[in-house]
A and B are shown apart, each in its own frame.
Chain A
Amino acid sequence: MDDFEKELKMDFLSEASDLLESAEIFFMELEKNPENMETLNEIFRLAHNLKGTSRAVGFGEVAELTHIAENLILRLKEGKIIVGPTVVSTLLEFSDTVNKMIASLKEDLDTHFDTKNIVEKIQNILSGNFEEKAIKQVEKEPVEEKAPEEEREVFQEESILNFKSSKPTPPSPKKPVANTENESIRVPLQKIEALNDIVGELVILQTVLGQHSSKKNLDSLASKSISQLGKLSKEIQEISLSFRMVSLKSTYQKMARIVRDTSKIMNKNINLILEGENNEIDKNVLSHLADPLVHLVRNAIDHGLEASPEDRISARKSEIGQITIRSYHEGTHLVIEVEDDGRGIDHNIIRQKAIEKGLLSPSKEISQDEIIQYIFHPGFSTKAQVTEVSGRGVGMDVVRKNIENLSGMVKVSTQIGKGSIFKISLPLTLAIIEGIVFQCAEKKFIVPLSQVDEFMAIRKSDKRYITSYGNCIQLREETIPTFDLAANLGLKKENKVQEDVQIAIILRSKDFAFAVVVDNIENQQQVVVKKIGEEITNKKGYMGTTILGDGRAAFIMDFYELYGDIVKKNQSQNFKMAS
């Protein structure tokens, strides 16, 4: 096979993944609105496209299978077959099969497949030989009302999945996500990284030029052009940085699919709520996030939600179980939560189990919250029998390991009878954060805006020394500990004159507040968090580095890490200190 052919095939494979992803959205949309012709048209178009291109590049098996699926879709379009859950499931199975084929083709272009199973299923539907008997002659009447007795079951089943979402996911068919009309192009990540690096260089030169123009007397055209150029390069930088960030949308969509399938297998009524699908996260992080999320979602349905509607009703809950997936920024992290309103986790059982497994000594007293976290231990499953959906007890520790590999954290909080929340918290490494640029001993540092509670101008005389508590300042009614950053970092000022007025950055967490004194606040801006090199990792108090507008590297400080322990320690020693 020559290179050109190979390239053509690889191009097709990546394009096909996109097509299938969009198709899946439409399949699920179809389940909600079986009557929507527009959705069917879209699906038909996608299938046709897939068939054509796969045949053109010589993947006969993919084309063959798609052709059969296309027949089915055509019949749906003509109204000869009515859309029901079995049809949608078969379509989804079809797209799964093709997805698998594509994945193996990516590995080896000469792979061959056995598609008998799915072909048979589609043929069965085409020949009207499937259990739902949902075939009807064309009779365009509201299906739901006219459903004969034997079909009723089908439509009830259909309502198992009640998608609701704060923002429309999957999107309405009027605004298809399908980017088949060249609304987007694929670019290798390497190229984007190279672009980012070069843009970094551009910005440095721009700054040099800008400083030069303010010193020398340039003619007005030159200085105007320079400032224009400055704006442009800033814009280029912003755009190029945003390339790496992708929204959670496609991951959410995957989860919607998981919920759909799992709810069918488990026969549970589920209402899925998706929040924060527009939050963005670095592409690299996202690609490792799907597996742990799938696991958590499945667990929430299988273990979390009550086994039957009766159980829920007797617990005075709506019989439809609720799963919520939400994401939001918390401090320096992006948080993704999977919440169910099910039974919750009984800490007594967990405790028992932990003692049985020898993970916990029976005499040890630890808080309920800590006990619950034992579910993340390897081989820890409390469910008696192994189910199809989840639970051989290999799950939770793998979830934790995966998340920790992304230097994230996963925690669970639960309330018996009310439900559980699994909280994945991912650092924004490589992500863009809002930062405050400040000066300390003529050097620039950054503190994440999310850590800052407020600023206060203070004079030297405002600081008071309290034995065993250190320096303090008075903030309205409160006395809070104060740290001098320059002294703590061992920075010496070249300019010996001590400014009388300094700025205190006030940080406040749930339990304590403290102030960090710096020289000056420069500005607020978005910064790209870059990892600290291996050679300086484990340094306390540095969250990362970044490159400032002038092209210089600067440290992003994590004051909680730097000072949190000291404050807490002092506080517990002096907890009765009057304010």
Chain B
Amino acid sequence: MNNHNASNQDITERFLEFSLGNENYAIPLLTVKEVIPVPETTEIPNSPKYFIGIMNLRGQIISVIDLRKKLKVQSQKNNPEEAVVIINIGTIGLGVIVDSINRVLTLGRSDFSEIPEIETQVNAKYIKGIYHKESHLTVLLDIAKSLDLSDFEIVEKQVA
């Protein structure tokens, strides 16, 4: 539908696609440091539910957030494919738990459609764009916005 010929000359960018519940989301691959299995975490007392805790990533201490709980997406049950995506937002490294890692997408700007009035489980302000091909639909997530730093301030306030 939105497949202009221009897409061939388009500047392309790569995205990591993952699942939250039954929906597909993608974030720019360059923000992703690595993907690891869900590690053991240490809970941070008095923090919000989606704030899973801190983990040891080869000697580095990193906070882990459950993106499903954060975005209030129903997570899959008994899911063996759960993974943690390590991302870098500015100077902060964060672990983000997702239901499964799907693939790497290479997309040009023209591959995106405008944000339609669709029903996703995610607040529209976190969405940067939609990519769909045939029956497959992927939501481009603004990860920095969806994990807004104000969340961390909440953590601080609750404990203080």
Taking beta carbons and an 8 Å cutoff, which residues of A are in contact with B? Answer: 196-201, 204, 443-444, 489-491, 530-541, 545, 547, 551-555
The answer to whether A200 and B56 touch across the interface, beta carbons within 8 angstroms, is yes
Task: A541 to B94: give the CA distance in the assembly, Å.
Answer: 22
From A204, A539, A541, A554, B42 is in contact (CB under 8 Å) with A554
Chain A residues with CB below 8 A from B61, complex form: 530-533, 545, 547, 553
Provide 6 A-B residue pairs closer than 8 Å at the C-beta atoms, listed in order of the A residue: A444-B42, A534-B92, A538-B156, A539-B155, A553-B54, A553-B56
- Give chain A's interface secondary structure class: mixed
Q: Which residues of A contact B44 (CB under 8 A)?
A: 536, 539, 555
CB-based closest 10 A-B pairs: A200-B59, A489-B45, A197-B59, A197-B58, A535-B152, A553-B54, A545-B61, A553-B56, A553-B42, A539-B159
Cβ contact within 8 Å between B59 and A443? no
Q: A533-B62, A536-B63, A536-B155 are in contact. Are A551 and B56 (CB under 8 A)?
A: yes
Q: Is the CB of B40 within 8 A of A552?
A: yes
Complex contact B56–A204 (CB within 8 A): yes
Question: Is B59 within 8 A of A201, CB to CB?
Answer: yes
A535-B63, A539-B155, A539-B160 given as contacts; is B56 within 8 A of A443 (CB)? no
B79 to chain A, nearest CB (A): 23
Whether, in the assembled complex, B28 has its beta carbon less than 8 Å from a beta carbon of chain A, the answer is no
Q: Is there a chain A Cβ closer than 8 Å to B106's Cβ?
A: no
**Which of A198, A532, A539 interacts with B58 by CB under 8 Å?**
A198
Q: Given A198-B58, A545-B61, A553-B56, answer yes or no on A533-B92 (Cβ-Cβ < 8 Å).
A: yes
Q: Closest B-chain residue to A202, C-beta based?
A: B58
Q: Kindly state the separation between the CA atoms of A540 and B156 in the bound complex, as whole angstroms.
A: 8
Confirm or deny: B74 has a beta carbon within 8 angstroms of a beta carbon on chain A: no
Distance of A17 Cα from B158 Cα, bound (Å): 51
Known contacts A533-B62, A545-B61; is-contact A490 B45 (Cβ 8 Å):
yes
Quick one: CB contact mask for B147-160 with A, threshold 8 Å, 1 for yes? 00100100110011
Contact of A535 among B43, B59, B94 (CB under 8 A): B94
Shortest beta-carbon distance from B87 to chain A in Å: 12
Most buried by B among A532, A534, A540, A541: A534
- Select one of A196, A540, A551 contacting B159, CB under 8 A: A540
Chain B residues near A539 (CB-CB < 8 A): 44, 155-156, 159-160
Interface size of B in residues (CB-CB distance below 8 Å): 28
**Given the complex, which residues of B lie within 8 Å of A534, measured CB to CB?**
91-92, 152
Q: How far is the CA of A443 from the CA of B60 in the complex (A)?
A: 20
- Which chain A residues lie closer than 8 Å to B93 at the CB level? 533
Mark out the residues of chain B between 66 and 112 whose CB falls within 8 Å of any chain A CB in the assembled complex.
Answer: 91-94
Find out whether the CB atom of A200 lies under 8 angstroms from the CB atom of B42: no
Q: What separation, in Å, do the CA atoms of A540 and B149 have in the docked complex?
A: 18
**A196 and B59 within 8 A (CB):** yes
Residue of A nearest to B94 (CB): A535
Shortest B151–chain A CB gap in Å is 8
Interface string of B30-72 (1 = CB under 8 A from A): 0000000000111111110000011110111111000000000
How many whole Å from A236's CB to the nearest CB in chain B? 13
Shortest C-beta distance, A440 to chain B (Å), equals 9
Query: Which residues in A have their C-beta under 8 angstroms from that of B94?
Result: 535
Task: Give chain A nearest CB distance to B54 CB in angstroms.
Answer: 4
Point out the residues of chain B lying under 8 angstroms from A553, CB to CB: 41-42, 53-56, 61
Cα–Cα distance between A427 and B89 once the two chains are bound (Å): 27
Closest A residue to B60 by CB, please name it.
Answer: A197
In the bound assembly, the distance between CA atoms of A532 and B66 in angstroms comes to: 19
A535 to B, closest residue via Cβ = B152
Shortest distance between the CB of A467 and any CB in chain B (Å): 26
Chain A, residue nearest B159 (CB): A539
Q: Which of B41, B53, B58, B59 has most chain A Cβ within 10 Å?
A: B59
Contacts A443-B43, A489-B46, A555-B42 known; A535 to B55 CB distance under 8 Å? no
- In the complex, how many angstroms separate the beta carbon of A483 from the nearest chain B beta carbon? 14
What B residues does A536 contact at CB under 8 A? 44, 47, 54, 63, 152, 155-156
Q: Name the B residues within 8 Å of A554 (CB-CB).
A: 42
Q: Is the CB of B58 within 8 A of A201?
A: yes
- Give the one of A200, A489, A536 with max B CB within 10 A: A536
Chain A min CB distance to B45 (Å): 4
Chain B residues positioned under 8 Å from A545 (CB to CB): 54, 61
* Given pairs A197-B58, A552-B40, 19 additional interface contacts (CB within 8 A): A198-B59, A200-B58, A444-B42, A489-B45, A533-B93, A535-B92, A535-B94, A535-B152, A536-B54, A536-B156, A539-B155, A539-B159, A539-B160, A545-B61, A547-B61, A551-B40, A552-B42, A553-B53, A555-B44
Query: CA–CA, A196 to B155, complex, Å?
Result: 30
Best-buried of A199, A539, A554 by chain B (most CB within 10 Å): A539
Q: Which residue of B lies closest to A541 (CB)?
A: B159
Chain A residues with CB under 8 Å of B41's CB are 553
Q: Which of chain A's residues has its CB closest to B160's CB?
A: A540
Q: Smallest distance from the beta carbon of B88 to chain A beta carbons, Å? A: 12
**With the chains together, A490 CA to B58 CA distance in Å?**
29
A-contact 0/1 string along B117-160, CB 8 Å cutoff: 00000000000000000000000000000000100100110011
